[in-house]
Amino acid sequence: MPWDRNQMAERAGQELQDGWYVNLGIGIPTLVANYIPQGVNVTLQSENGMLGMGPFPVDGDEDPDLINAGKQTITELPQTAYFDSAQSFAMIRGGKIAMAILGAMEVAENGDLANWMIPGKLVKGMGGAMDLVAGVGRVVVVMDHASKHGESKVLHRCTLPLTGAGVVNRIITNLGVLDVVPGGLKIVECADGVTEAELRAATEATIIG
């Protein structure tokens, strides 16, 4: 059985290291907050101007002045700090955020990432994703291995407009974990019950080794 959304988020949680400041993107990456390993202390950054993001509020406690980058109501923690958007992206651009975990539409074997638009169809915008991939220490992508039509989203070259060129370090999909290395992708592990042959067959990108 390939991993489901929560298992992918749990696997992504293993990427977190004690003391890190981390930015989680919208979608499956948001779920990673539920799978921070025991004994690992990470501070979550929300690029709309907050370090130390807490859980969703209990019903009735929501505050319109307190939201995350997905515009969801959230809560603060004892270590929370607020700041403006220029300061927020100064810490992102300045390399102070150790890692970003982001969703993707396509990833390529050279580390190119596309996750912000489909020309003529979907025009939403890049939000903070371009700044994040250009600025943070490490970029981990979490996404389904294939599109709804069964086509590999792990490609030789991205077909969609890029969010960043050569920016992805690690890819976690429902089928396994791959690293971007010189010459292509390297299999780190397969999801439970997925064989290496199945992972290779589902991947358009060059897998080396």
Question: Does residue 118 belong to the site contacting other proteins (CB under 8 A)?
Answer: no
The beta strand positions in 83-158, using DSSP E, are: 99-102, 106-108, 113-114, 117-118, 122-123, 138-142, 154-155
Taking alpha carbons only, the member of 128, 148, 150 closest to residue 139 is 128
Q: CA 34 to CA 79: how far, in whole Å? A: 18
Among 36, 126, 187, 207, binds other proteins (CB under 8 A): 126
Among 17, 48, 152, 169, binds other proteins (CB under 8 A): 48
Among 84, 151, 189, 192, binds other proteins (CB under 8 A): 84
Q: CA 175 to CA 2: how far, in whole Å? A: 5
Among 36, 77, 134, 187, binds other proteins (CB under 8 A): 134
For other proteins, give the closer residue by CB, 91 or 185.
91
Residues 155-184 that bind other proteins (CB under 8 A): 161-166
Residues annotated catalytic, as ranges: 47
For other proteins, give the closer residue by CB, 36 or 130.
130
Return the SS3 of 87. Answer: helix
The beta strand positions in 105-144, using DSSP E, are: 106-108, 113-114, 117-118, 122-123, 138-142
Give residues in contact with other proteins (CB under 8 A).
46-50, 55-68, 70-74, 76, 82-86, 88-90, 92-93, 112, 123-131, 134-135, 161-166
